[in-house]
């Protein structure tokens, strides 16, 4: 080993789902099967090229303003970043600096562990119960901060807002981050608690319900003090995180509420239909409130089904990790894509 090796920050990176370059039915990374709002394409096509030449507005002010007005909060309550991954990573860096461990569920978004390792944050995973539900009482102990997604990933299970509130209320000495990447497909958001709890940060994304995973836009909403701390960390890292095209496209997407709501309805309808179909052919599915279904079959190995689907050009996500080795996570695509998936699986089961 070279002597410089000992000073290198070594991390085990997050492994994202595959992005195949050929045409497949892609149900592996929870993207939206429909295009972004029509105004987004128009706005990008008519973008002033001079804005490309110049550095973007470091505050991404237009996008912050659009989000503030959409959510009826002040502009100094909004922080934007390059996807919610960027926002969450900034939150870890900024708010999780205690010697005490931060808490998150054992089955959850696997990036949390990676950021904790990267920033040398101690952490403790609280096991979800046998039904994969988060046990709120596990979070009522001393800790250095709390983060969990609602709905949780990859289970898709939604925690009712009064239970989320209990966790926030019992942890007022630390920061609690609710990662609401999938909230638009679920139920009530913790955004309505922002004014009530000074320790709360809600993080959301344009990647799922707004069909813009490729543009990389995420945001946090909180009180002005915590947003200031986030901005201070961001400006100490990279001033120009949001590129000009993302700012323009993001502003346009927020304007079209009708398109957004119709898209969400379509996905929920397809999800509920696909879940019933999967159950008809013997799968057990968790009660997903997200744009994906977490499913296991009692008689077939998830790994085998995952590989069979892949060989036929249908990509889903499979981890094979502890407690979830029998599960596949299937993103909700169009009705036609889900029909193709179900007919292939049914063929295997005959």
Residues that bind ligand PMP (CB under 6 A): 83-85, 109, 149, 153, 179, 181, 205, 207, 213, 218
Q: Which helix (H) or strand (E) holds 156?
A: none
d(CA 204, CA 294): 21
Closer CB to ligand PMP, 77 or 207, in the complex: 207
Residues 6+ apart with CB under 8 A from 318: 302, 303, 306, 327, 328, 329
| Min CB(54)–ligand PMP separation in Å | 26
- Collapsing DSSP to helix, strand or coil, 331 comes out as strand
Measured from each CB, the residue nearest to ligand PMP is 83
Min CB(2)–ligand PMP separation in Å: 35
Minimum gap (Å) between residue 99 Cβ and ligand PMP: 26
Q: How far is the CB of 196 from ligand PMP (least distance, A)?
A: 23
Residue 121 Cβ, how far from ligand PMP at the closest point, in Å? 17
Whole-angstrom Cα distance, residue 288 to residue 276? 12
Q: How far is the CB of 225 from ligand PMP (least distance, A)?
A: 24
Decide whether 155 or 270 has the Cβ nearer to ligand PMP. Answer: 155
Toward ligand PMP, which CB reaches closer, 199 or 207? 207
| Among 327, 289, 324, residue whose Cα is nearest residue 157 | 289
Closest C-alpha to 222, from 96, 99, 64, 114: 64
Q: Of 213 and 308, which CB lies nearer to ligand PMP in the complex structure? A: 213
Closer to ligand PMP by CB, 101 or 149: give it: 149
Nearest-angstrom CA–CA distance, 241 and 218: 11
Nearest by Cα to 112 from 134, 99, 129, 96: 96
CB closer to ligand PMP out of 275 and 317: 317
């Amino acid at each position: 080993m070279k002597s410089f090796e000992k000073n290198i920050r070594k991390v085990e990176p997050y492994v994202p789902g595959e992005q195949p370059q050929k045409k497949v039915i892609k149900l592996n990374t929870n993207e939206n099967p429909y295009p972004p709002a029509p105004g987004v394409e128009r706005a990008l096509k008519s973008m002033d090229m001079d804005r490309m030449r110049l550095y973007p507005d470091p505050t991404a002010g237009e996008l912050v303003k659009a989000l503030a007005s959409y959510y009826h909060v002040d502009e100094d309550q909004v922080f934007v970043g390059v996807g919610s991954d960027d926002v969450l990573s900034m939150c870890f860096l900024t708010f999780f600096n205690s010697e005490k461990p931060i808490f998150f569920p054992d089955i959850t978004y696997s990036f949390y562990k990676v950021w904790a390792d990267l920033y040398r944050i101690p952490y403790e995973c609280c096991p979800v119960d046998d039904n994969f539900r988060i046990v709120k009482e596990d979070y009522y102990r001393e800790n250095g901060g709390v983060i969990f997604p609602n709905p949780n990933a990859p289970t898709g299970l939604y925690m009712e807002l009064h239970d989320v509130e209990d966790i926030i209320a019992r942890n007022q000495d630390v920061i609690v981050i609710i990662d609401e990447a999938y909230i638009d497909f679920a139920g009530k958001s913790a955004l309505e608690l922002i004014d009530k709890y000074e320790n709360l940060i809600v993080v959301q994304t344009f990647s799922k319900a707004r069909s813009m995973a490729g543009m990389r836009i995420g945001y946090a909403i909180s009180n002005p003090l915590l947003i200031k701390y986030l901005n201070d960390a961001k400006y100490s890292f990279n001033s120009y995180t949001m590129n000009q095209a993302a700012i323009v496209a993001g502003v346009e997407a927020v304007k079209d509420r009708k398109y957004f709501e119709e898209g969400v309805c379509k996905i929920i309808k397809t999800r509920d239909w696909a879940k019933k179909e999967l159950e008809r052919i013997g799968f057990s599915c968790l009660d997903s409130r997200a744009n994906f279904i977490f499913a296991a079959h009692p008689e077939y190995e998830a790994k085998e089904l995952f590989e069979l689907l892949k060989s036929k050009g249908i990509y889903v996500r499979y981890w094979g990790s502890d407690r979830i080795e029998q599960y596949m996570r299937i993103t909700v695509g169009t009705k036609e894509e889900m029909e193709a998936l179900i007919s292939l699986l049914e063929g295997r089961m005959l």
